Structure 1
Amino acid sequence: MTKIAVNACTGRMGQALLYAIDRNPQVELTAPLLRRGHKWAGEPVNRQFPEINSKILLVDDLSAVADQVDVLIDFSLPDYSIETAKLCAELKIPMVIGTTGFSYQQKQQLIELSSQAPMVLAPNMSVGVNLTLKVLQLVAKAIGHDSDIEIIEAHHRFKKDSPSGTALRMGESIAEGLGEVFSELAAFDRCGKDAVRRPGSIGFSAIRAGNIVGEHTALFAMSGEEIEITHKARDRQTFAQGAVRAAVWVSKQTAGHFDMADVLGLDELFGGVN
């Protein structure tokens, strides 16, 4: 049985992970983690989260329970994820990171840390989203140069980063299919009187409203026809269950940097399409 720690367990995704682990007989919650000095430390997890059956104690120090952890799942904030990744590298604890909003430098730092302990780093843990990324790559390879490409995403009103990490990863997959450099194609800001579409660009639009869990659409608009590829998440358990699946997988790996395509074996499924 895989023993799992959940970082930032009081957040939206943290609570979803507690529930997913609690209901999965193949894994065990051994370290629901709080920030250092949190007033709930030492209390049973089910006292603060009654829907959880486990009575494991909430903890605020990973080092103190490291021998009880096979893998840590982190959905927090970029700086906190980096801090946690450094400690996991030191303790040789594999990680699954679903945090978004990392800078390029922070992503490189995480990849370097993965040389000390295995790490799955993915902006979206959904099986459906990761299948969509492969499909987008194939579509872009076939018709991308003949299309105007736009990515539209929608999330709840409290989401901090924009565009979402998933939207950016969709753009990267499309750029890979085109054989282009993503940073040279991305168009994030079109406003004012001179906002004509730049030929060959990938445009981004973000909606923040209500309690939308996550919706992403890639539009390929050609002369006379359009293709839309959409993924809609209706429940955060979709992401939580994917993260737990990744945790079980990465706990068996040696040091290195992986993504959900590795976890799901999508390269083999799609014949190694690049």
Structure 2
Amino acid sequence: MSVKICVSGYKGKIGSKLIIYLKKKFKIYPFKGNKKSIKKSKIFIDFSSTSNCINNLKLLRNKKIIIGTTGFNKKQLSYIKKKSNENVIFLEYNMNYVFNIFLKIIKYSYLFLNKKNKFLIEFHRKKKKDKPSGSALKILKIIKKKKCFSVRAGDIYGKHSLYYFDKYNEISIIHNVLSRNAFFSNMKNIITFIMKKKIGIYNNDDL
């Protein structure tokens, strides 16, 4: 597949590994703020910051866009949705396809355990800015809770632990990321997916 891709956030912990991963199959242009790399590319991937991502979107039209950046506020999410009227946007806070399976397990468990006491603990690296994480917000939505316990320490890639309990039992459902590579391990399938779309906004549920 000879697709040209522009990557924003290429110096970051995920972005730098993503470029190495994608170079094996695609032509990659690191985005350095110039429009030339955008014009050359069919796909624009953003793993930068919320403010950078929004500024980048202002330059994009009729593009296939993949956003893995997290921590957007409501106004920023509204703008992303607006830009999906002229672009194909794949917005996903956790592109790890195994995490998507984890969410399905939680949805199934909630059918039977929704009346139990429950709480969520999420762990991420010390420098992660958003709290709770975008992945944790997805879990909270499923279990109909507004808050969770957020731990920021060391260089933890991402761990989510959901607990159901009553007087006599405790059930725990845990997903732990062992490598940052997990966050883009499904990227080739996502690229194949968005190449077939015209406009609109999508996420893992649409794959």
TM range, smaller chain: over 0.9
- TM-score by structure 2 length? 0.92
CA contact (8 A) 1:94 1:117 kept: yes
Q: Secondary structure at the match of 1:253?
A: coil
Q: Does 1:209 pair with 2:153?
A: yes
Counterpart in the other structure of 1:186: 146
> Equivalents in 2 of 1:224, 1:21: separation in Å?
49
Counterpart in the other structure of 2:98: 128
Structure 1 portions without partners, runs of 5+ = 35-59, 176-184, 188-203, 264-274
Q: 1:149 to 1:64 in 2, by over 3 A?
A: same
> Equivalents in 1 of 2:19, 2:66: separation in Å?
14
Counterpart in the other structure of 1:74: 46
1:1-274 alignment, distance < 5 Å: 1=1, 2-23=3-24, 25=25, 28-34=26-32, 60-61=33-34, 63-88=35-60, 90=61, 92-144=62-114, 146-175=115-144, 185-187=145-147, 204-263=148-207
Q: Secondary structure at the match of 1:227?
A: strand
CA contact (8 A) 2:100 2:204 kept: yes
CA shift for structure 1 position 71: 1.0
CA contact (8 A) 2:54 2:76 kept: yes
> Equivalents in 2 of 1:5, 1:173: separation in Å?
34
> Equivalents in 1 of 2:142, 2:203: separation in Å?
13
- The one-letter code matched in structure 1 to 2:110 is A
Describe the superposition over 1:106-163 as per-residue Cα deviations: whole angstroms up to 9, x where unpaired. 112211211111111111000111111122122212221x111211111111111111
Alignment size in residue pairs: 206
Q: Percent same amino acid at aligned positions? A: 27
Larger Rg: 1
> Equivalents in 1 of 2:188, 2:149: separation in Å?
30
Structure 2 portions without partners, runs of 5+ = none
> Equivalents in 2 of 1:65, 1:78: separation in Å?
20
